[in-house]
Chain A
């Protein structure tokens, strides 16, 4: 069994079902509040019972956003106050008239800037799309608006989703709200930081190789990567089309799940979107009082052996092992699973992603949209527009991807990477036939310092080892905070739970119960905690 060396603690009565974690942050006091099950539902209740108004709620978020934005820089664009407040006022009027309101009514949402919004710029973090205003909303954005959400702004990212720190943005570097000298992770670092700093309730990100899950771990928030095809990619600026998904950030599992509920479903505009029925994810968030003493009894959890060895920070291993003990206390049967092909996923991912991106980014030629550097001939218009508009990391990946796809090299690189994808897909399927979920850390370390990996591509790429295989297999995964690194910075550690295709329900159920029974944490960064 994989219990930690410590004796598992006996549970108290079901009504007070909690698990005292073995590591406490030196920053938060042990008496801090239990995690809120859902900020979305708490605010909704307050709105519908007229305890607060949508206008007051929006004002408080806008004030907090502007207060912390000079330090964090999570937003590339903030919606003007009058537009946000007008939407809030319209909602207040509907509530006053007892009209029906959508499930996300009044919820302030951040949207990663590679997801198209009709009335706001969408730059994908790149100068080549500076000031670009798409002529349409992404399907996910359209659905959010239909559900009553208010989009508070567009969040920062590594350019075109290529990066793991958000330092690759052409505009600004986002800081981690837990420690402003550290990265928030990437590429959806802006969204993760915004939710962590409570600048918005929830946020959309995108995940091609871990870009929702790794920043969620680094920023101490919940990140949910759905099954490939669960959420329409229409309006998501394409990076690697066989791997890209839109994902959800929240300060709780329930909030991430409620967001997923709103954006999932088949879309005619995305041929890879799934026709599988969308279950009601909200039904998984059972209040603690209704749970038995071992609410996860019978659930089989497989810990991926290759993810807890050398090269993973000891504090990350320790937090994850503690989380495993917690799952055992909740009734799970935990065993070890070996996936020998695990390490092949990383080079295979970077071959596939670079290759597909070289094709997807060929449309940025300065002709039909974006910034243009006019030339004497067409070739120099293309060459100079792309040279000026695209950043270094993006250029490198396009060059590498073109190489991997070239005649004479295609079989050696791209085709072999696709074969590795088959192996990895099959190995995950076999493991998930024998287990309900698989477990690993979300990243081999906590958030590192800004600038630490900027000039070393392989060092940055290697941090994705925990996440890329899930994209190759197209599976859903949930990351939630499970502890701290125990150092003086007290940086959060995230655990990754991987499910079978379209089994987000199970992930959300397990994640919610895990989170709600984890005593002693509120995972609010000090920057915000004192407010």
Chain B
């Protein structure tokens, strides 16, 4: 089903045609530069599932792959923007870090933490054997 909000992203040439001379220079595309620098393989959903420790069935891989591909292609819009000399922002930086002193404090409700553990025995959190790969 078509979505009017997607139309908003596509409709105005200024939004997506970065060659428009009215577009700030810092945001003009530099496709040749970026195509050479990044050759991006599409997502390997099975490999990613392994990395993220989520067991996916082959049917789920088949279902997710095109959707993920579609979204990642859309992420690729940012490749066309010249971002040289722009510093990356870790967060909004509305204020600097407010770190507290590294002094340990006792938490008053240990029992509730332990009560939440699914598999707890004799003061140990129980997990299956961890197998080492040779």
Q: Which chain B residues in 71-130 approach chain A with CB under 8 Å? A: 71-72, 74-75, 77-79, 81, 83, 86-95, 97-100, 107, 109-110, 112-113, 115-119, 125, 127-130
Measured in the bound complex, the distance between the Cα atoms of B74 and A383 in whole Å is: 28
Tell whether, in the assembled complex, residue A501 and residue B52 are in contact, meaning their CB atoms are under 8 Å apart.
no
Indicate if the CB atoms of A419 and B24 lie closer than 8 Å: no
Q: A135-B116, A402-B51 are in contact. Are A456 and B75 (CB under 8 A)?
A: no
Determine whether the beta carbon of B116 is less than 8 Å from that of A419: no
> Is there contact, CB below 8 Å, between A347 and B77?
yes
* Nearest CB in chain B: distance from A371 CB, A: 7
CA distance A457 to B54 in the complex (A): 20
Q: Are B5 and A370 in contact (CB under 8 A)?
A: no
A194 CA / B25 CA spacing, docked (Å): 47
Beta-carbon contact of A340 and B14 below 8 Å: yes
Q: Does A372 contact B (CB under 8 A)?
A: yes
Query: How many residues in B have their beta carbons less than 8 Å from beta carbons of A?
Result: 75
Nearest B residue to A351 via CB reads B75
Closest partner residue, chain A, to B56 (CB atom): A387
| Dominant secondary structure at the B interface | loop
How far apart sit A227 and B92, CA to CA, in the bound complex (Å)?
9
CB <8 Å contact, B89 and A456: no
Residues of chain A within 8 A of B3, CB atoms compared: 453, 456, 458-459, 462-463
Alpha-carbon gap, A374 to B77, bound state (A): 42
Chain A residues with CB below 8 A from B87, complex form? 419, 422
Contact B27 A341 (CB under 8 A): yes
User: What residues of B have a CB within 8 angstroms of the CB of A419 in the complex?
Assistant: 83, 86-89
Q: Is the CB of A465 within 8 A of B5?
A: yes
- Minimum Cβ distance to chain A for residue B101 (Å): 10
Q: Establish whether residues A418 and B93, one from each chain, have CB atoms under 8 Å apart when the complex forms.
A: no
**Is A57 in contact with chain B by the CB < 8 A criterion?**
no
* Contacts known (A416-B79, A458-B70, A458-B71); A378 close to B128, Cβ less than 8 A: yes
Instruction: Judge whether B119 and A399 touch: CB under 8 Å.
Output: no
Which B residues touch A276, using CB under 8 A?
Answer: 95
CB-contacts of B5-60 with A (<8 A): 5-12, 14-16, 22-24, 26-27, 38, 40, 43, 45, 48-49, 51-56, 60
A312 CB to closest chain B CB, in angstroms? 6
The reply to whether A342 and B15 contact each other, CB–CB distance below 8 Å, is: yes
Contact A311 B54 (CB under 8 A): no
* Cα–Cα, bound, A340→B53 (Å): 40
Q: Is the CB of B4 within 8 A of A343?
A: no
Whether the Cβ atoms of A370 and B7 lie closer than 8 Å is no
Closest residue on chain A to residue B6 by CB atoms: A462
Residue pair A275, B48 in contact (C-beta under 8 Å): no
Decide: B16 and A343 in contact? CB cutoff 8 A.
Answer: yes
Whole-angstrom distance between the alpha carbons of A377 and B26 in the complex? Answer: 51
Name the B residues within 8 Å of A227 (CB-CB).
Answer: 94
Q: Is A306 located at the chain interface by the 8 A CB criterion? A: yes
Q: Which of A25-33, A170-178, A406-414 contacts B (4 or more CB under 8 A)?
A: A406-414
8 A Cβ contacts from A327-349 to B: 340-344, 346-348
Q: How far is the CB of A481 from chain B (nearest CB, A)?
A: 20
Asked whether, in the complex, the Cβ of B55 is within 8 Å of the Cβ of A387, the reply is yes
Q: How far is the CA of A465 from the CA of B9 in the complex (A)?
A: 8
In the complex, A421→B87 CA distance in Å?
Answer: 9
Distance from B74 Cβ to chain A, minimum over Cβ atoms (Å): 6
* Cβ 8 A contact of A375, one of B92, B95, B118, B128: B128
| Given A398-B52, A403-B48, A459-B6, A411 and B38 contact (CB-CB distance below 8 Å) | yes
Across the interface, name the chain A residue whose C-beta is closest to B8: A311
Whole-angstrom distance between the alpha carbons of A135 and B113 in the complex? 6
A311: min CB distance to chain B, Å: 2
The 3 closest A-B pairs by CB, nearest first: A474-B92, A311-B8, A135-B112
A residues near B, CB below 8 A?
118, 132-136, 227-229, 241-243, 266, 268, 271-276, 306, 309-313, 340-344, 346-348, 350-351, 358, 362, 365-372, 374-384, 386-387, 390, 392, 395-396, 398-400, 402-404, 406, 409, 411-413, 415-423, 425, 444-445, 452-453, 456-459, 461-463, 465, 472-475, 501-502
Given A344-B81, A384-B55, A386-B54, list of 17 further CB < 8 A pairs? A311-B11, A340-B23, A343-B9, A347-B77, A348-B78, A377-B129, A378-B128, A386-B53, A395-B54, A399-B68, A400-B68, A400-B75, A413-B78, A418-B88, A422-B87, A444-B4, A457-B71
Residues of B that sit less than 8 Å from A by CB = 1, 3-12, 14-16, 22-24, 26-27, 38, 40, 43, 45, 48-49, 51-56, 60, 64, 67-68, 70-72, 74-75, 77-79, 81, 83, 86-95, 97-100, 107, 109-110, 112-113, 115-119, 125, 127-131
8 pairs of residues in contact across A and B, judged by CB atoms under 8 Å: A310-B12, A378-B128, A400-B72, A402-B48, A418-B89, A421-B88, A453-B1, A462-B3
